[in-house]
Chain A
Amino acid sequence: MNRRKFLTILGSAGVASSLGTTLTATKAEAGAHVFPNYDESYGVLHDTTRCIGCRRCEEGCNKANDLPKPDKPFSDLSVTSQRRRTSADAWTVVNKYVVDGKPVFRKLQCFHCNDPACASACFAKCFSKLPNGVVTYEGSQCVGCRYCMIACPFYVPGFEYDEALDPLVQKCTFCEHRLVEGKLPGCVEACPMDALTFGRRSDLIRIARARINENPGKYVNYIYGEEDAGGTAWMVLAPAKDGKGSPLPQNPIDAGHTLEQMDLNTHLGNRPMGELTYGALGAVPMIVAFWPVLFGGAYAITKRREAMAKQAQDAVVKEAHEDVVAAVDAAVRKLEETEGPGAAERARRAMTEALKAREAEAAHAKHGEDS
């Protein structure tokens, strides 16, 4: 099931995308030579039908980036049967997958997404997608929250957990330091089988399409990374299920069956992962703007209701008070008629004092209730 169907929350993506991101900024600055989907940026096509699992790419990466030497030498090919992943010390690894009974080798490294989840997730702007296709990481401003590792759909970034003072996230850099010198990435240069093809992304897609068309039955009809997770700079070609048996390119469902066995997730959808959060982020300004009105309104209603209740109560009290005064007055007048003015005066005074005393008592009781 494609989870992207459930993208929108409160459908405010427009607001979110206007918040401004590294990516949009980079795109804008890069100007004319970057087209949608980073067609002119660099990428690498990994043809798994050519890969023999020799681990030369791992060795090349290790040398090119001065990474620590592994416990087992690169000549030990048995490790490819383990389910390895990239880590802080190994930015690329080759795993053997059994696809419909046959071994297939696949190289794992950062896919250098067009619109990377790590960059979208980073709250200190450590990651940037450059016009040349590289997704860079700036360790000097990394807080070490590791949200990029949660966000990455390919389980790529590794973290230096054993580093006490300066632990950083590490991942494939596309050998950017070599690219600027005009050299190939370490792994591509080391590959003896031509399984890794470096080039512009649009060219790689054309090459991949040509290989699929010219070799019916050899490849699944799917270029992994062309659109997955919004498109990636590194893409994968996978072998068809039954080599000679099917002359026609296979349909995407067959492709999914094969790719899943190679641990390539075909459920990521064709939009950048970060877009999944834009609906929620877009709701933020709405809540900031509207919640105070909503709760301020509730407060005003409460206050008004209290005032009305007090008014109604005061009216009742006043009426009762007037009733009492009228009754007392009538009684005193009657006294005056029967007992004479002196008695009436005494009665009036006594009544006034009693009322005052009651009022004082009531006021005291009310005060006690409030406190």
Chain B
Amino acid sequence: MSQHSIVIPTKDKLFNLDPLTKPTIGNIITWIILAVGLVVTVMRFGLGIGAVANLDDNWPWGLWIGFDLLCGVCLAAGGYFTTVACYVMGMKHFHSAVRPAVTTAFLGYAFVVVALLYDLGHPWRLPYMFFFPGTTSVLFEVGLCVATYVTVLFIEFSVAPMEWLSGKFPWLLKYRKIVIRATILLTIFGVTLSTLHQSSLGSLYLIAPEKLHPLWYSPFMPMFFFVSSMAAGASMVIFEGMFAHKGVHNYMDETHLREADGVVLSFAKAASFILFAYFMIKLIDMLVQANIPYLFTGYGAWWLVEMLGFILLPALLYAKGSRDGNVTLCRIASVNAVAGIVLNRFNVSMIAFNYQLPPSDGYFPSIGEICISVFVVTLIVTAYRFIVYHMPVLYEHPDFKGEEH
């Protein structure tokens, strides 16, 4: 609770690895997952995709795209959402939420790229898209924007490691200063790139109207993906905050703790509005496409479950929570909203995809695919913990306290 329990690495003791190496239950589970993941990784790259995945010719994209890429990118939207709220809109009371959000966004995107390498047949050829640019491809736009945005996020995030290492390498201070002066530029660049690739993930499916169920297919899929990414960004800040308060509470300084509840309530209010808007545009789209008859089918029931239980319900919970100042309710709503985003991406990429194929040609991810997805999430959590134990993310570094930026 109090600030003195924060271990701030010094010039002579740069590393604080004890919390990662102590044999606690959490750490042991982490080691097991990482070990299993490494074995599956060797199988994937040694024997081919077919050796670990249930993917086939009808299902070229499965869990790795549906979860690791679509959900990974969407759930890392907290980065642009928080930086825009704080720096562009001037909501300075969110300042303590910026670094954790940028950190998780950077890790999210970096590991999206890592996960993508598992899915690509020729991972080392990923840069080929720059040599043979297929400019008519939505995927080209996604690739270009994600590559650029990972770089932007890396620069935004780099302030934290530079503050950590500046005691030992004082020349880093010069670069830190440049980055901090470029904050607003990076923020606007970041939101532009995010708008583009968040929406483009929805555009990916525009080319396949015959494969995606009409209740999910829409020419406005880019819009749906972008709007839901905003809700995901706000929700993930609350969602991750919940776990951070459980796991790394003693790395938070007074400012962070004082502002935390306010951040939750404000973000809940924003998420509520965005989810309502998202609900309305999806509803109106269904009406103008004359899709009402589909509502009376099995897929229609499933669509209603998504719309009512995972978009409207979290919107209402957020509204009630933020109105009553009920942080717990807002956190419950964030779990609901995040689950809803994941459900939507699963629906578009897997559940409502190939809806005309007979059930015998269905797809369910293999144990190997699930292992890799869990492995990647665990890598993100472990990297996050390493960063929090070493760098000023949840607290302000005493050397840089009180600086305006």
Contacts and interface: CB of A to CB of B under 8 A. Distances in A.
Contacts of A119: 136
Contacts of B61: 146, 150
Nearest to A297: B88
Nearest to B207: A151
B53 to A, nearest CB: 7
Contacts of B133: 123, 125
Given A143-B126, A146-B61, A298-B88, A162 B135 contact: no
B143 A288 contact: no
A96 to B, nearest CB: 15
Given A292-B192, A298-B89, A143 B138 contact: no
A6 B134 contact: no
Contacts of A141: 125, 128, 131-132
B122 A291 contact: no
A153 B222 CA distance: 20
Contact of B121 (A142, A155, A302): A142
Contact of B203 (A160, A162, A281): A281
B284 interface: no
A120 B134 CA distance: 8
B50 A161 contact: yes
B138 A277 contact: yes
Interface in B133-172: 133-141, 143
A76 interface: no
A163 B139 contact: no
Given A155-B58, A299-B184, A291 B138 contact: no
Interface residues of B, number: 75
B192 A150 contact: no
A125 B134 contact: yes
B139 A123 contact: yes
Contacts of A303: 90
A175 interface: no
Contact of A291 (B188, B207, B404): B188
B191 interface: yes
A299 to B, nearest CB: 5
Given A7-B219, A371-B402, A299 B125 contact: no
Interface stretch (B4-12, B194-202, B268-276, B297-305): B194-202
B195 A287 contact: yes
Interface string B384-405: 0000000000001000011010
Contacts of A143: 120-122, 125-126, 128-129
Interface in B90-138: 90, 119-123, 125-126, 128-129, 131-138
Contacts of B191: 291, 295
Contacts of A158: 57
B206 A280 contact: yes
A276 to B, nearest CB: 5
A72 interface: no
B248 interface: no
B121 A1 contact: no
B207 A150 contact: yes
Contacts of A284: 141, 196
Interface in B354-370: 358, 361
A35 interface: no
A159 B57 contact: yes
24 contacts: A3-B214, A6-B218, A9-B223, A20-B135, A21-B135, A21-B136, A85-B58, A88-B57, A120-B136, A120-B207, A123-B133, A149-B57, A149-B60, A150-B211, A155-B57, A158-B57, A162-B47, A277-B136, A279-B219, A281-B203, A291-B192, A298-B89, A306-B90, A370-B404
Given A123-B137, A280-B222, 7 more contacts: A3-B209, A6-B289, A125-B133, A267-B209, A276-B207, A276-B219, A295-B192
Interface of B: 45-51, 53, 55-58, 60-61, 84, 87-90, 119-123, 125-126, 128-129, 131-141, 143, 184, 187-189, 191-192, 195-196, 199-200, 203-211, 214, 217-220, 222-223, 255, 289-290, 358, 361, 396, 401-402, 404
